[in-house]
Amino acid sequence: MTMLKAGKMNEIADEMLKTQLQIIVLQELRWKGVGKINKTKHILYYSCNLEKTSQLGTGSMIQNEIKKSILSFEPYNERLCKLRIKGRFNNLSIISARAATEEKTDEEKEKFYEDLQTIHNKIPKHDIVIILGDMDAKIGKEDVYQNVAGKHTLHEITNRNVEWVCEYAIANNMKIISIYYQHKRIHKGTWISPDGNTLNQIDHVIIDANEKGVVEDVRTMRGLNCDSNHF
């Protein structure tokens, strides 16, 4: 427990309560170990490196009012974890993901998507699967990607990581729904460089193609005080 940076998590919890968000998925927690932290108004689940503090670590934070709907939490590794939630008609399996960055080797990227597939394969077939997180994928406007990813993207040209995430989505009959909705530029960008000059759309929402109608909208929420260069 001494590894936890409670102050920052309290800031995130305050913003979650202020905005009435019920579930937040988290990446780059930079802690050690796996576990669950119960607070008065929220619960935090985390999945980090078991042996040392690293730059990675994933998790989920929920408001206490929905804790009875949580069926299970599955920590997998520092890049992946899954929260399963009871739904009215179908249960939801929400995967928090931190993909390998653009400069990583193909072997590291392949390992991430193999791990993601392992988690995916264990999910009950009637669950709605939603993958949320930093995929480090700048999806461009090339026609080849529009069937799986939509067209309302911030970028003109894709980076190499897009091939990995699109191939995964196609193989699992999923849609990258985060660029299906038309918004202003400031509501598309999900990451900004430290100097404030570069805005990227690299965090994405991926959902079962047959269930994409359950999502009403996806957009960036700006102005939250969480000490992060991601919105």
Helices (H) and strands (E) in the chain, counts: 4, 12
Helix axes 106-121, 161-171, angle to 10 degrees: 20
Cα 112 to Cα 152: distance, rounded to the nearest angstrom: 27
**CA 231 → CA 27, 44, 54, 192, distances in Å?**
12, 19, 22, 8
Check the CA dihedral 87-177-220-39 and report its sign: positive
Which pLDDT does position 223 carry in this prediction? 80
pTM comes to 0.92
Length of the chain equals 231
For residue 223, give the 3-state DSSP assignment: coil
- Contact (CB, 8 A) for 192 and 157: no
Ranges under pLDDT 50 in the chain: 1-4
Q: What is the pLDDT of residues 28-77, one digit of tens each?
A: 998 899 999 999 999 999 999 988 888 899 999 999 999 999 999 999 99
Which pLDDT does position 225 carry in this prediction? 75
Which pLDDT does position 2 carry in this prediction? 28
- Contact (CB, 8 A) for 149 and 170: no
The residues facing 70 across adjacent strands are 85
Which pLDDT does position 196 carry in this prediction? 86
